[in-house]
Amino acid sequence: MPITTTVITGATSGIGKETALALAKKDHAIYMLVRDTQKAEEIRQEIISITKNKNIYIVPCNLADMESVCNAANTLMHSVTAINVLINNAGGIFADRLESKDGYEMTFAVNHLSHFLLFNKLLPLLQKGQARIINVSSEAHRIGKPDFNDLQWTKRPYSAWKAYGMAKLFNIYFTRAVATRFGPKGISAFALHPGLVNTGFGTGLTGMGKVLMWLLRPFMISAETGARTTIYLATASRIDSKSGGYFKNRHVASTSATDENGRNMLWDLSMEMIAPFLTA
């Protein structure tokens, strides 16, 4: 039986690590796109030790640096013949407005634009592998209210939670756009809410954001539990008819990401932003 080739961002901790471990147990070849290669090597050895699956690989990739994303994509283009599963798992929330190496607001860059670029760079491999694209979103998308004239938060006061909510909304917009545009070419796409997971998420927050995370901690679930929906979407059979769906607890859920015009506008603006990198 052919090996399933899976690419995942953010696999060195939390639900990303648990996802990589679970899929390695199912004999997937795992390509971990990571910023910290030393930590990734420790995780790689741990996964191999547990699963006896030696097809675990590390690809350097800093999602705050579009050149690094391009380099990672180029490495994959020369390493594999097809990709069957792409899991856009990495993300983050930032207390203050920061900019990526390329001058994009960090929440937007790390949670959306870098993964958008990765998808487009890998598109030939994804089409060849009839891939599933899995985007880890959040219920925080419900507070996302995008201003397409100010995606970089330069014209209005920056809010960590509002910026994060907007980025998670964009994860679902992206999912639905991929399902619509590339479904006829054999690519399916799914978004999910992993649950309120007890990881290092939000550790850099201050003020009320920090207090909120502290208050929520008793209600948080483990990373292993939080990874279940991602694992389900990566392995379940006969779910292509649900492509474009937003999932919670392994079931399709309602979402506020229903603005088709917003979805198309995001796609067009994102394409403009990544255009200089597509030939890199």
Q: What is the pLDDT of residue 7?
A: 98
Phi and psi dihedrals of 189, rounded to 5? -145, 140
Structure tokens at 278: 């597509």
Is the pLDDT score of 215 beyond 50? Answer: no
Mean pLDDT of 99-105: 98
Whether the Cβ atoms of residue 159 and residue 184 lie closer than 8 Å to each other = no
How far apart CA 128 and CA 136 sit, in angstroms, is 23
How far apart CA 96 and CA 117 sit, in angstroms, is 24
Q: Calculate what percentage of the chain has a pLDDT beyond 90.
A: 87
Q: What is the pLDDT of residue 33?
A: 98
Whether the Cβ atoms of residue 93 and residue 142 lie closer than 8 Å to each other = no
Mean pLDDT of 84-89: 98
Q: What is the pLDDT of residue 220?
A: 63
Question: What single DSSP character describes residue 154?
Answer: S
How far apart CA 280 and CA 55 sit, in angstroms, is 28
Domains and CATH numbers, the chain: 5-277 (3.40.50.720)
pTM: 0.92
pLDDT-based confidence at residue 223 (cuts at 50, 70, 90): confident
pLDDT-based confidence at residue 82 (cuts at 50, 70, 90): very high
Q: Of the given ranges (225-229, 243-247, 263-267), which has the lowest mean pLDDT?
A: 225-229
Tally the residues of the chain: 280
Instruction: Give the tens place of pLDDT for each residue, 140-191.
Output: 999 999 999 999 999 999 999 999 999 999 999 999 999 999 999 999 999 9
Instruction: State the sign of the Cα–Cα–Cα–Cα dihedral 257, 112, 125, 86.
Output: negative
Q: Of the given ranges (49-53, 220-224, 233-237), which has the lowest mean pLDDT?
A: 220-224
Q: Calculate what percentage of the chain has a pLDDT beyond 70.
A: 90
How far apart CA 203 and CA 188 sit, in angstroms, is 33
Positions annotated as catalytic residues are 164
Q: What is the pLDDT of residue 224?
A: 87
Give 164: exposed, middle or buried? Use CB within 10 Å, 0-12, 13-18, 19+.
Answer: buried
Whether the Cβ atoms of residue 204 and residue 94 lie closer than 8 Å to each other = yes
Whole-angstrom CA distances from 98 to 115, 153, 172, 230, 253 are: 18, 10, 23, 29, 32
Is the pLDDT score of 202 beyond 50? Answer: no
Whether the Cβ atoms of residue 58 and residue 37 lie closer than 8 Å to each other = yes
Which residues are within 8 A (CB) of 40 and not within 5 positions of it... i.e. 6 or more apart? Answer: 11, 12, 32, 34, 58
Q: What is the pLDDT of residue 1?
A: 58
Instruction: Give the tens place of pLDDT for each residue, 30-43.
Output: 999 999 999 999 99
Mean pLDDT of 106-125: 98
pLDDT-based confidence at residue 214 (cuts at 50, 70, 90): very low
* 54: number of Cβ within 10 Å: 11
Q: What is the pLDDT of residue 181?
A: 97
> What is the residue whose two structure tokens read 């050149």?
67
